[in-house]
Amino acid sequence: MKLGTLTGGQETATVSGFAIDHRKVADGCIFGAFEGARVNGEDYIAAAIAAGAVAVVARPEAVVDGAVHIADANPRAAFARLAARFFAPFPEVAVAVTGTNGKTSTVEMTRQLWRMAGHHAASIGTLGVTTGDDRVSTGLTTPDVVTFLSNAAGLAREGVTHLAFEASSHGLSQYRTEGLPVVAAAFTNLSRDHLDYHGTMEAYFDVKMRLFSDVVVDGGAAVIWADDPLAADVEGIAAKRGLRVLSVGTRGEALRLVSREPTLLGQGLVIEAEGKSHTVNLPLIGAYQAANALVSAGLVIATGGEVAATLAALARLQPVRGRLERAVICRSGAPVYVDYAHTPDALEAAISALQAHASGKLIVIIGAGGDRDQGKRAPMGAIAAAMADVVIVTDDNPRGEDAAAIRAMVMEGAPGATEIASRREAIGAAIAMAGPTDIVLIAGKGHEQGQIVGDLVLPFDDVSVTREMAA
């Protein structure tokens, strides 16, 4: 493809691809030079040109010598638009999900519901690229824009017609999903997370709202969890854009959750939609799983799904990896669940989900990640201490911080907790003390396959370790 075809100009250079890492530049690439939190891509413009870049997308004041300078005050957005033109076409129907918690479950449930309706569907997010046949890890909730757009285009070439993806706050802030036509977007909830990056809750909320104010196509739809305190604000932003609003939840208008009753292996839901009552036996436990399922159903309905058939399909949803996933039943008879909960709100939701099923003790293992928002650590400890019978504080992903210092911050909120540094030993201790009427929750890492210590990623899977310790 000629550069001029992408820019609308007269440039005749042939474009072979896009790169935001100068080490990945090849002959014919367009290089994106962005200011980052730790690295300024403008420092590598000369190296990218030496490697074969034919054009550089950068701020007007950047120095570009030897290649076409595509100048823009917002180079990330400009780079994404050009990359989208290069990689297109994409799946015919694309939806995005934002919020603090529930994004992964919601996009995966949406994919499952579409597939049950006969569509060739896929999802992109924390679990990687997921289709009905395979899953490939990308390592990030929202991968970089080049990976994201090339993946989306590749899925279209494979026949995928429906795509659901996670729109994280980092991804929205850095324009990682710009350029892909999004016909519907969903908001799950908002609670404290990533304040180390965004600074304030207001800034965190505002960047998530870009999904509705800027990303969704004109005439698109917004699916909103109506029970979140900020739901009315989200609805106002969506309505201002002229988006079709579908609210779901106990206060929802499109899908109203009339009642929810826990069952042995799930929960019974009564949902009112279009003036009719629908009874659903959802095979997943927890109020937040019901919320994710309803948001997913809303997205499917917003993109043409029939209401009754979509709600009926909720009864066939499969558990999502690392989201209240039952890893094993111990020899004592106690079930052990693994959940990705790594924020105060998510931890409270996970513990609440299991409380309804525990007649004995609820044993909870928690930790906190290093190089992330330190302010959430003590509150997470306090929530665990208030809601669980036994709390064990252990290491999560210490990254570049001192692991003992992180545990101490969590222990401030749970002074009566047991501290066990080794995550493997902590899991073993929880299993050893669990009786036949008890439940164990291992929170924080969920689906993750490694533990990040310093610059190393050590193999560690909560589910696999739990099964080993329970054997």
Tell me if 176 is assigned to a ligand binding site.
Answer: yes
Tokens of 218: 């004109």
Tell me if 181 is assigned to a ligand binding site.
Answer: no
Percent of the chain's residues with pLDDT above 90: 79
Percent of the chain's residues with pLDDT above 70: 96
Say how many C-beta atoms besides its own lie within 10 A of residue 272's C-beta: 16
Q: What is the pLDDT of residues 372-424, one digit of tens each?
A: 889 999 999 999 999 999 999 999 999 999 999 999 999 999 999 999 999 99
Tell me if 105 is assigned to a ligand binding site.
Answer: yes
Residue 139 in this model has a pLDDT that exceeds 60? no
Give ranges for CATH 3.40.1390.10 in the chain.
Answer: 3-74
- What local confidence, expressed as pLDDT, does residue 337 receive? 95
Q: What is the pLDDT of residues 311-358, one digit of tens each?
A: 999 999 998 888 888 899 999 999 999 998 998 988 998 999 898 888
Q: Which fold has domain 88-316?
A: UDP-N-acetylmuramoyl-L-alanine:D-glutamate ligase (3.40.1190)
Give ranges for CATH 3.40.1190.10 in the chain.
Answer: 88-316
Tell me if 398 is assigned to a ligand binding site.
Answer: yes
Tokens of 375: 């302010």
Tell me if 168 is assigned to a ligand binding site.
Answer: yes
Residue 292 in this model has a pLDDT that exceeds 60? yes
Tell me if 298 is assigned to a ligand binding site.
Answer: no
CATH number for the 3-74 domain, one of 3.40.50.1100, 3.40.228.10, 2.40.50.100, 3.40.1390.10? 3.40.1390.10
d(CA 138, CA 177): 14
Going by C-alpha positions, the residue among 239, 280, 234 that lies closest to residue 257 is: 280
Q: Give the helix/strand (H/E) hosting 371.
A: none
Tell me if 141 is assigned to a ligand binding site.
Answer: yes
| Superfamily of 325-470 according to CATH | Mur ligase, C-terminal domain (3.90.190.20)
Tell me if 103 is assigned to a ligand binding site.
Answer: yes
Tell me if 157 is assigned to a ligand binding site.
Answer: no
pTM over 0.85: no
- What local confidence, expressed as pLDDT, does residue 368 receive? 96
Tell me if 7 is assigned to a ligand binding site.
Answer: no
Tell me if 372 is assigned to a ligand binding site.
Answer: yes
Tell me if 397 is assigned to a ligand binding site.
Answer: yes
d(CA 278, CA 262): 17
Give ranges for CATH 3.90.190.20 in the chain.
Answer: 325-470
Tokens of 318: 């499969």
Tell me if 104 is assigned to a ligand binding site.
Answer: yes
DSSP state of 319: P
Q: What is the pLDDT of residues 165-217, one digit of tens each?
A: 999 888 888 888 888 899 999 999 987 565 566 568 788 888 899 999 999 99
Token match 């190089």: residue?
371
Residue 101 in this model has a pLDDT that exceeds 90? no
What number of CA atoms fall less than 13 Å from residue 393's CA on the CB side? Answer: 28
Tell me if 352 is assigned to a ligand binding site.
Answer: no
- What local confidence, expressed as pLDDT, does residue 192 receive? 57
Q: What is the pLDDT of residues 215-262, one digit of tens each?
A: 999 999 999 999 999 999 999 999 999 999 999 999 999 999 999 998
Tell me if 310 is assigned to a ligand binding site.
Answer: no
Tell me if 399 is assigned to a ligand binding site.
Answer: yes
